[in-house]
Structure 1
């Protein structure tokens, strides 16, 4: 795809930066008159390095300056990074569905996505806008715009380049996972050039992109371990732990991406992350004492760089309510914690035979847009009526105890309340070890200020256990790791563990955290062998065509750039 020149600006908390993009292309052009241009950078190299890397981080947190979407022709809220990956990884699965009627978005809840779908173009565009932002930052440094005249300035620029490479790898994980043989653009692809597909053969092209991204991450991790082994970035920034956690995700899925498993590498990197972060908290595991501390209004305390010594949230997407920030400036969007709470909830009508209130979640809005699928609900332990579960991870759900119907009789918004449970995990309540900390909770507002947890230490424990059960280590260690998670949820610990039990535990722990489609594909349960309500637009579920292991590349992108479309699309 061809990138027109654009410039970076912004800071992590407040920024004025917008990219324009037409739906049919990724031609990126500046639209904000207050944007910075590189000719200014030399006047304050340190300050402009901060602002420029902030512009990169901003594209992972929200959608554009002044409420504008970076992907034109695509809803601003949907165009955010978190919602884009949620759409790709969760909406077609057994966990969650998006029920408002929409010609293109509506197809995602059935898993049927043509190459012409505008949402596939929007989600793909978001990933490549972020990749382009990372590359453009590195290019402005290498082109000498910052006048780095001291070792301290050069060291700062080098560290920010490492961070941009890590963020780029994060976007590439979702691109490779969902789209397969994607074009590869690193900092050597200049503006105005078309990012190439590395091969016209699907399997070979996907493998080559994977290998390049993994090699880059390995280089970053090796540098940190040689030069900064105790790396602890400031809150909101990425560093060694995010880089190595991304390697865990890549190696966990290596067999899917390349045809060759890498369980030993997955375990080695997972153990390294656990070795650094697995201290304090629940049973000295590094996990929060309360599961919902990861998903409350104050969850930034439990992120790396946060105020709590327990940092379960490895990669966090910062958000901030304006009312909580003394400067009066916030970083908010209709994604992240706002989406993950308000997307499910709403006030039940006064004459309804079910109950739900936005006040239950300390939120000022509710969209009534999502419901859970019954096959996912059944993975938890319940009483006879599927009303109450001993599993603490269901504490905020709306179930039959609240009058909600468990079955997806339809996936229509008008039947919200009777066509599926609400599997809510994010709220606007502050959380302490015992649960809700009402005294320190913010006011109920439309957009919530809690961070979004992109990668948690719990995921690393589960990935390590999976690598072990696939032959990489001692099964006793896998049981130990999974029992930290299971016991925190109030469930009986395992004495032995098999892969089926582990798969279900991973689903219970990481539900709606944008891993599910990837997991089902790795388990061999996505195409066939396991069905859920409305899979392939059949009420009781039906198998997918084998090409559905990846989405199509957007048809306009293929046509304009000469890319080879994914097989059988």
Structure 2
């Protein structure tokens, strides 16, 4: 296994108390000649930067964590564990490290990608603990509360992915203790409750001036997400659906946010939330409660939205607004079928292939054949069906069949885009400008709909669902069931780094009740054991921290 070496976050400050094998830790100064003095507000900026950056020198160089710097970023590591194992997408290149285990849901405690996510979360928590320890009583308390929010967010990811965390809320050399299940759930619940009255009011940072900082709206959104999953996290001991509803009510009644609904220059309101200028487009910003800030010039990294845009494109696809084509992630047939249950998606055939076409020729051919993304959306009757099945980059199939051979084995996903609503140039042709909406108002409506449904209030639940289907120009639901809800979670939020969580909550991730291609390593899918609902604690962390115990089903 590759070792992950933790380095200091900024200006020579040493990190201590990290949960990891001692042999895997090398705590050292980034710049041995740097001063031990620093500006606290710059350090605050670093706390947020951990969400979208991976080191001190752009996309590569002076990384926070050793190894493949692009693979070690916060969003990319958690996204992969939440998406690559589900019914939404497949990683094209199955010879890449640890990818088959994630694709087929066959990981173990030595899984490299599981370790990357675990170590990134632990590293960031250590950074936050340092800031909170050193700045409490010095900076304004709302600044410190913002970092406490980031820490709670990371502990939520620990709870969701691992059902426990190497827990510390102090900054010292003591090893973290194990905190999990209801105990960790209650800690996050209490922590959020405490900081909510300290943070700036809901919507304070929903503006160009301070876009990307956490206010009450961000804390409420995390609190609602936590509460909706309460039964999973506490093994049925707590069912906080009323709390989930109440926090959604706080956000919606504030009128600080609004769904992006109006089409502009051919881009739907939905599409604009995921475009390169979503931090400049007032309508898109209004939906975004808390983003990970990205800019092709100022935040160069391979682990944020550059990953989302580049991994889902191949050279030759139109409207890319990028020169970086990784050709990694494509849609599983199961995702496409959510929008096209009859397999009637408009798609080019082998006979339609073009030889070395220009972008203009690709666009013209797609329009002639009726297979452009606009045609796909129209055929689906849903603005959210943002797939490409045209001739650009080659001819696609809907499914790999029995073996995954490459990027053209499925529909291309064009939801994440570096385009701008005025069709202007990107800030950079390699790195993406698109901010990542970690929390957005659509989640609040759908969370409230599910909470209301579970509380037996189907009428109001349908009204919340209608907010989303109306925005998507999709058919309105007249009844509500578990299947309606889980499918709406997929249609609204596919490829946003949450699918595994939703499937687990609905009892569909493990077992054989719901199958998808390559679940359990079989084309067509097969049942898997329930212990896969939770990821294992990495073996190297167990070796270095006797306070941590392995999750059930993964040995000692």
TM-score where L is the length of structure 1: 0.81
**Aligned counterpart in structure 1 of residue 304 of structure 2, from 327, 333, 336:** 336
Q: What aligned pairs does 1:98-497 form with structure 2 within 5 A after superposition?
A: 98-100=91-93, 101-142=95-136, 148=138, 154-155=139-140, 158-186=141-169, 188=170, 190-198=171-179, 205-224=180-199, 228=201, 231-232=204-205, 234-258=210-234, 259=236, 260-277=238-255, 280=258, 290-301=269-280, 307=282, 311-322=286-297, 330-347=298-315, 357-381=316-340, 385-387=344-346, 388=376, 389-398=380-389, 403-410=395-402, 412=404, 414-417=405-408, 419-431=409-421, 437-438=422-423, 440-442=424-426, 445-471=429-455, 474-497=457-480
- Distance in 2 between the 1:95 and 1:406 partners? 13
Aligned residue number for residue 44 of structure 1: none
1 CA distance for matches of 2:334 and 2:427?
35
CA 478–192 in structure 1, closer or farther in 2 if over 3 Å, else same = same
Counterpart of 2:552?
Answer: 567
- Matched-pair contact (CA < 8 Å) for 1:4–1:192: no
Q: How far did 1:126 drift?
A: 0.6
2:439 and 2:448 map into 1 onto residues whose CA distance is 14
2: distance between equivalents of 1:280 and 1:553? 39
Instruction: Choose which of 515, 522, 527 in structure 1 pairs with 2:498.
Output: 515
2:46 aligned with 1:52:
no
**Which aligned segments of 4 or more residues in structure 1 are displaced greater than 6 angstroms?**
3-6, 16-23, 399-402
- Give the deviation of 1:7 after TM superposition: 5.5
Which string of whole-angstrom CA distances, capped at 9 and with x for unpartnered residues, describes residues 498-529 of structure 1? 33212111110000111100000000001121
Question: What is the rounded CA distance, in whole Å, between the counterparts of 1:500 and 1:278 in structure 2?
Answer: 31
The structure-2 alpha-carbon separation of the partners of 1:411 and 1:179, relative to structure 1 and needing over 3 Å to count, comes to: farther
Deviations 1:82-106 (A, max 9, x none): 1011111001000012122124233
Displacement, 1:332? 2.1
Task: Check the 8 A contact 1:263/1:470 in 2, yes or no.
Answer: yes
Shift of 1:274: 1.3
User: Could you tell me how far 1:223 is from its partner in structure 2?
Assistant: 3.6
Structure 1 pair 486–160 and aligned structure 2 pair: CA distance change class (3 A): same
Gaps of 5+ in 2: 347-375
Q: Does structure 1 residue 544 correspond to structure 2 residue 528?
A: yes
Q: In the superposition, relative to structure 1, how do residues 118 and 280 fare at CA in structure 2: closer, same or farther (>3 Å)? A: closer
Coordinate RMSD, CA, aligned? 2.9
When residues 568 and 477 of structure 1 are mapped into structure 2, their CA distance, relative to the original with a 3 A threshold, is same
TM-score after normalising by structure 2: 0.83
SS in 2 for 1:371: strand
Give per-residue Cα distances to partners, 1:217-250, cap 9 Å, x unaligned: 01111344xx856644721211111111000110
**Compared with structure 1, are the counterparts of its residues 310 and 479 closer, same or farther at alpha carbon in structure 2 (3 Å cutoff)?**
farther
What is the CA–CA distance in structure 2 between the aligned matches of 1:532 and 1:292, rounded to whole Å? 27
Q: Point out where structure 1 has 5 or more consecutive residues left out of the alignment.
A: 11-15, 42-47, 149-153, 199-204, 323-329, 348-356, 432-436
Matching of residue 9 in structure 1 with residue 1 in structure 2: no
> How far did residue 61 of structure 1 move?
1.0
**2:87 aligned partner:** 94
Kindly state the Cα deviation for residue 427 of structure 1 after the two structures are TM-superposed.
1.1
| CA pair 280-465 structure 1, distance change in 2 beyond 3 A | closer
